[in-house]
Structure 1
Amino acid sequence: MANKYLKALEYPGVDSINIKDETTFRRIVVWLERNKIKQAGSETVNALSNLKSNEWRKAYEKYRLFLGCPNTLTTDEECLNWLAGYAIHEQYSQKKNVYNKHAVQEDVKPLKNVPNVTTENPLDKLDFQSNEFMEGINKIAKMLYITPHPDPTITLKAVRHIITERFTSVALQNPEKFIVKGTPFPLHDADLGIDLGDPVLKHAAKILRMLYIQDLRNLQTRANELIVKAQNVTANPKTDTKLGKVGF
């Protein structure tokens, strides 16, 4: 996955690099900061640029902490995936107008006579791309053991999902009923049924299929609950004999 991110970022010689090599890993981190992320101060950049220094790892850990890279990422490859994703997010933020220009149809005309709605909801005034918002969401995600995404709005969706599923009044009173148990599904061994020619793309397709199946199961469960409630209303109707009439 990191190779695909680096290729999108136009890292030189990406097809022939070995991410597991320590020197290569250090060189990539420095390149990402110097050319794409550009968030750290000169002192940090100079410390990272000294690839052969025995203090490089200390400087790298400070750099990770500065960017908000989650502590749950333990391997260099996981951290590199996160850093490359962060770099892509920064590149998009800097050239958002350029990218959106090609994504939005130019012949779409704005609607006329659209009312100007004024809202009192303070959430509408939040800057979802600000550093303060990102830091706050990442702190909440860390408490919930969620891996933060470079896009804070995606992290927020994951936080909302966990809270609505695990922190309701019913879930807090009976937590055992909401904790997933059983043997993990062998996703790597599962047969997708089609050959996509790319192992990374195939793995992503498996995940999407599992999510789709989960949505279908949730829909079926809600449909069954609706049928039961309807049957409780319509089954065993009571007859009011007082309304009966004999003769004409």
Structure 2
Amino acid sequence: MFKRKLQALGFPNPDTLNTADEKQFRSTIVWLEDQKVRRYKIEDRESLRNTTAEQWNQAFEQYLKDLDCPFANGSRPEIVDWLLGLAVQFEFNEKPESYTSSPKIQQQTSQQSNPLDNLDFESEDFKVGVVELANLLQVPRHPDHLMTLEGICNVIQEKLSQDALKEALKTKNPGNPVQFENISFGLDIKSPNVSSAANVLRYLFIHDLRDLQTKINECLVCVQALTANPKTDTKLGKVGF
């Protein structure tokens, strides 16, 4: 019921707001005050921002009184709906052109805006989503969830992009399997497990170097194709002095 207002305000997750969820309800109130309503000065918002405090309900009641909310004793959906309407009103007063422009201009604006700018990369919901995606793609998890996300992006780019999917449909020569036990990489490591890991890393490094060399050769071929048969404009030539 709040989706359209939340979308108009640029709320990070307009489809998942649940006023019955205590944590989500409190964080939404704090977001509205910090981002849109701004009834208090920044230094006066501490009691409202401390969503885990036992006195938060008292601070919230005082906040509604300061806003002259007519639904101070109403249900949570009524209070949230009124706060959203107030936030939309403030947003309109600050940027009326964003709501009165033509549909074509609004469409161009929405296309230019990056929805990722509204994400909270440190929220618990985001971290849980990264973990679930890593498990789905079988990407090893890093203690830093942003490093895990980077690994997920690499896997998607290499394995699930349109070019990668098209390439996967082509018939390839499987080649010969690599037997690391029979290859000497010049590393004298006593531990078998560490030696195997080092050999794999060395092999991947060599693979990347070969791929880089292939791309360099392709660039050289393109440059040679341009310089081997140059076109001459005879109109620019002169005879004599």
TM-score range, shorter chain: 0.3 to 0.5
Larger radius of gyration: 2
Higher relative contact order (CA 8 A, sep 6+): 1
Q: What is the TM-score with the length of structure 2 in the denominator?
A: 0.44
